[in-house]
Structure 1
Amino acid sequence: MSTRADSHDLRHHGDAEMRDAGAGLIDLAVNVRTGTPPAWLRERIAESLTGLAAYPDGRAARAAVAARHGLPVERVLLTAGAAEAFVLLARALPARRPVIVHPQFTEPEAALRDAGREVRRVLLHARDGFRLDPGAVPDDADLVVLGNPTNPTSVLHPAETLAKLARPGRTLVVDEAFMDAVPGEPESLAGRTDVPGLVVLRSLTKTWGLAGLRIGYVLAEPTTVAVLERAQPLWPVSTPALAAAEACVTPEALAEAERAACRMRVERAHLLAGLAEFEEVRTVEAAEGPFVLLRMERAEAVRARLRTLGFAARRGDTFPGLGPQWLRIAVRDRATTNRFLQALDQALTAAGT
């Protein structure tokens, strides 16, 4: 258990790996699905531009998201991406003893620290496969945040394991930004109303390629939604983002996302099989998300060499609980993976590992 703000750069994200990268660098650092947004979604967003003179009206999108999860609209809050939700939670909820389960997406901790909160960390370990032990979370925690599947470990925690963290007087925040990349979403808590204090965050930016549009949502008890909504600025979600939200939760879109998740699972297995051929590389084999976490000596030198060979990988040392031996790699199509594996072979040789 740690409370200190250490040297981890909590504001470093995968997009930083692509800045000033120049043309031709293949992005394995950002977990947005390639080839997105699809043409039909671009058309829906373009059609919404004729209504930009009017203030955004989120009622239809909110109702569509609620219907997608079988929830009343009072349990839904639309946000400018899941990242906005972390800021709202940090600023609006009266948490005095927040706990973040790491390694995970670092923005929740950054938002809490910016709000003046003293954050405690529960660190999961590679020796345990980065799996959660609910007993490791302090009983007095009144806010607990973790991801499922977790970024960057790609571990999918059982829903019932997470539900054990809930208790009266505690807000349990589960970041499901990558859950729609898991076929069938078997461990999702998004539709649950029986878990006290549960807050589920969803993002539409990963599967649908909408990182530049900023759209996500919160699913929570109506009283929590009302508190968060009061902390939002007026009209926080733009008209094009609302159009995208409504479009991405239709039955047709959900079926397309499911097909994409199934393809990704096959491609991830191919990537893991290829990585297993390298004695120097260890992976988190229980990966269920659209990315894998790998460990090797001299990972920074390997990452630098990969850039010269045309590939951007996500450094792992900015995640609490990890160090400079870790890299995160996005799952891509088979041809891209094969080229990456060849480049990795060269990079490992050049790094002398």
Structure 2
Amino acid sequence: MPTDVDLRHHGDQEVGPGLVDLAVNVRPGTPPDWLAALLRDSVAGLAAYPDAARARAAVARRHGRTPDEVLLTAGAAEAFVLLARVLAPRRAVVVHPQFTEPEAALRAAGHEPDRVILHGDFRLATTPEGGRLRGDAASEGGGLRGGAAPEDGGLQAGVVPEDADLVMIGNPTNPTSVLHPAAAIAALARPGRTLVVDEAFMDCVPGETESLASEAGVPGLVVIRSLTKTWGLAGLRVGYVLAEPSLIARLAEAQPLWSVSTPALVAAEACTSPRALAEADAWARDLQVERDRLADAIRALGLHVVPEARASFLCVRVPDTPGGLAVRAALRERGYALRRGDTFPGLGPDWLRVAVRDAATDDAFTAALKAVLGDTPPPSAC
């Protein structure tokens, strides 16, 4: 495992007794009562081995796929591990900043993935000549405006090399909250390439407008989804993979028997029902309003927020003075746990991830942040 960043550091390690949790991206107040009741009832069937058939069929219906294109997993994390064990890429590439488990899983399986670092506003965009992608570069992120960064001894920043036969990217991306255009991600597909898209936070987007989950025709496409965030099931572990049947069969062969428990299968079926989808979409619309309000409040304090956030969190840059780590520590003393950004390749110590909560919690946090910034010397330009 490389020592430049701690790929195994996650938001749950930031929380503790007496702290308001702004570090973990699980929707507050979940699971809802109707889902909790189903999970309690499922305990009556624990004597039997889990049977994933109904849940696979429900997930397939939800995305217009066939059941042989679906594999239920113990959360998205298991999906990354299975892919790392089954695939044998010659050149794997992980597009950062993003959730670090895909790279950690590849390295644990003996692969040495390259990193493509997006700068500026952390978005993918197709180049005029088509096909190849770059990271849009704006002055905030340190990239070059108008194209890919120059050679830096390794990969060009923001450019996915043509010979990469495995590419992994998040959408919306953790921790930047950036939603890439579906067309920009699909343009990464190539014959002979596996394109893995982590859509764990796609249900934060009303209408899931940029999802590729139903696009079975994109060559080599693998979409990973999680049900733990929106439905408050992080402790239950439930997610799924959507891919062509031959790859699903290989992943299933590598998966431990009965990896997904009966309660998790019940949750997968319930959370892909029309009722659940309607509830999730309504939540996403409310989230959008509160997220934008919180982003405006943080910007009013002079901090940079990655624009057009679309997930359940914001990515915030603090000026060098006082610095992200100092602000994080001071907020912790005031009772708020935030996710540090320096364990994400492509970010650094001045970056923080802030989960969006209810209006009262967000207002109290903003007041604490204002107080912390007021206790430090005036910030330099960000």
Relative to the length of structure 1, the TM-score reads 0.96
- Does 2:283 align with 1:260? yes
1:17 is aligned with what amino acid?
A: E
Partner Cα separation in structure 2 for residue 323 and residue 276 of structure 1: 19
Query: C-alpha distance in 2, partners of 1:17/1:6?
Result: 20
Distance in 2 (CA, whole Å) between partners of 1:137 and 1:7 is 21
**Equivalent residue letter for 1:10:** L
**Equivalent runs, 1:143-292 vs 2, <5 Å:** 143-279=166-302, 281-292=303-314
C-alpha RMSD of matched pairs (Å)? 1.0
Q: 1:46-61 residue pairs with structure 2 within 5 A?
A: 46-61=40-55
Q: Which has the higher helix share?
A: 1
Contact map agreement 1:205 1:215 (CA 8 A) in 2? yes
| Local SS of the residue matching 1:160 | helix
TM-score under structure 2 length normalisation: 0.89
2:124 maps to 1:99: no
1:90 equivalenced with 2:84 (yes/no): yes
Name the aligned partner's letter for residue 22 of structure 1. P
Q: Give distance in 2, aligned partners of 1:267 and 1:107.
A: 28
List structure 1 segments (4+ residues) > 4 angstroms apart after TM superposition: none
Matched residue SS, 1:184: helix
Q: Distance in 1 between matches of 2:248 and 2:324?
A: 42
CA distance in 1, matches of 2:123, 2:270: 35
Inter-partner Cα distance in structure 1 for 2:173 and 2:200: 9
CA distance in 2 between counterparts of 1:112 and 1:350 reads 43
1:11–1:106 contact (8 Å) kept in structure 2: yes
CA drift of 1:95 comes to 1.2
Q: What corresponds to 2:106 in structure 1?
A: 112
Do 2:124 and 2:181's aligned partners in 1 also have CA atoms closer than 8 Å? no
Report how far residue 179 of structure 1 moved. Answer: 0.1
Q: CA deviation at 1:310?
A: 1.4
Question: Which amino acid is the alignment partner of residue 348 of structure 1?
Answer: L
Contact between 2:122 and 2:178, CA under 8 Å: does it hold in 1?
yes
Q: CA deviation at 1:7?
A: 1.5
How many aligned positions are there?
344
* 2:317 corresponds to: 295
Task: Specify every segment of 5 or more residues in structure 1 that has no aligned partner in the other structure, as ranges.
Answer: none
Are residue 36 (structure 1) and residue 27 (structure 2) matched?
no
Amino acid at match of 1:331: V
Shift of 1:6: 4.1
Match of 1:78 in 2: 72
Q: How many Å separate the matches in 2 of 1:271 and 1:65?
A: 33
SS state at 1:344 partner: helix
Distance 1:301 1:130 in 2: 24
Separation in 2, partners of 1:52, 1:177: 27
Report the CA distance between 1:58 and its aligned residue.
0.6
Task: Using the TM superposition, give the Cα deviation of residue 309 of structure 1 relative to its aligned residue in structure 2, in angstroms.
Answer: 1.1
The equivalent residue for 1:132 is 124
Determine whether 1:328 maps to 2:357.
no
In 2, distance between residues paired with 1:262 and 1:241? 26
Partner AA of 2:308 in structure 1? A
Q: Deviations over 1:165-222 (max 9, x none)?
A: 0011000000000000100000000000110000000000000000000000000000
Letter in 2 for 1:124: L
Residue 98 of structure 1 deviates from its aligned partner by 0.4
Q: Is the contact made by 1:305 and 1:350 (CA closer than 8 Å) also made in structure 2?
A: no
User: Runs of 5+ in structure 2 lacking a partner?
Assistant: 126-132, 135-158
CA distances 1:253-310 after superposition (whole Å, capped 9, x unpaired): 100000000000000011011012112x111012111101010131111111111111
Question: Residue 30 of structure 2 aligns to a residue in which SS?
Answer: coil
Q: Which amino acid aligns with 2:92?
A: P
| Separation (CA, whole Å) in 1 of partners of 2:299 and 2:349 | 20
- The offset of 1:145, in angstroms, is 0.2
Structure 1 residue 106: Cα displacement: 0.2
Aligned-partner SS, 2:233: coil
Q: % of aligned pairs identical?
A: 63
> Which amino acid in the other structure matches residue 282 of structure 1?
H
Is the aligned partner of 1:67 residue 2:68? no
SS of structure 2 residue aligned to 1:205 = coil
The CA distance in 1 between the partners of 2:100 and 2:208, in whole Å, is 23
Out of 5, 10, 17, the position equivalent to 2:7 is 10
- Contact in 2 for aligned 1:300/1:324 (Cα 8 Å): yes
Letter in 1 for 2:117: L
